[in-house]
Amino acid sequence: MLPIGPLMIEHRVTERMVALLKAEMEIISKTNKTNPDFLLSAVDFLKTYVDRCHHGKEEDILFTELENKNIETKFRDVIGELKAEHKKARGLVLSLQEARQKYLDDDPGSSPTIHGILSELTELYPRHIEKEDKHFFFPAMEYFSKKEQLDMIDRFLEFDEQLIHRIYRDIVEGYENKGQAPAGQGMKKQVEG
């Protein structure tokens, strides 16, 4: 298997979520209501699976390795485009998270806002996936030897194995750095006391 195999499998799962996001858009169009529980799951999926797991492997491993090689300028430009699309998706997901909270707070303009964000996401992801699957991944593999490709697969596996630990370590460290427990009690005082 090429290192791009796992990335393309992750694309297929992402496409399934995009279909669910489109279905949610239809519900919003018909009822002006949304399912905040689904949106919570969608935000988690997009932040964790798509961005931290999938984009993490691309940016931290594949793109970095390619940028260390003598690649064509136009290929380097495509990496820049892909990174910019990842950044745009991150911003849209953050906006979706904020709009979901406004919906829960009964903000009357939140449903159209959510619909607009979902529309952007469901346009961005398919174009991005097509660019990678059909125009980027296979040419990228030509820059790597068989051994380098096998090493990259191992690094992808290690990345995935460590992901859950990074996520929950970041949660704990986030609260520690704020100096407070979730209920507002001082963490440092609890630890030191």
- What CATH number did the domain enclosing 109 receive? 1.20.120.520
Distance, CA of 134 to CA of 129 (rounded, Å): 8
Does 156 fall in a domain?
Answer: yes
Does 112 fall in a domain?
Answer: yes
Does 89 fall in a domain?
Answer: yes
Q: How many domains does the chain have?
A: 1
Encoded tokens for 26? 């239809």
pLDDT digit string, tens, across residues 79-114: 999 999 999 999 999 999 999 999 999 999 999 999
Alpha-carbon Rg for the chain in angstroms:
20
Question: What DSSP designation does 69 have?
Answer: S
pLDDT digit string, tens, across residues 43-68: 999 999 999 999 999 999 999 999 99
Question: What DSSP designation does 110 have?
Answer: H
Structural domain of residue 113, as residue ranges?
4-178
CB 75 within 8 A of CB 139: yes
Does 135 fall in a domain?
Answer: yes
pLDDT digit string, tens, across residues 131-143: 999 999 999 999 9
Q: pTM score, two decimals?
A: 0.86
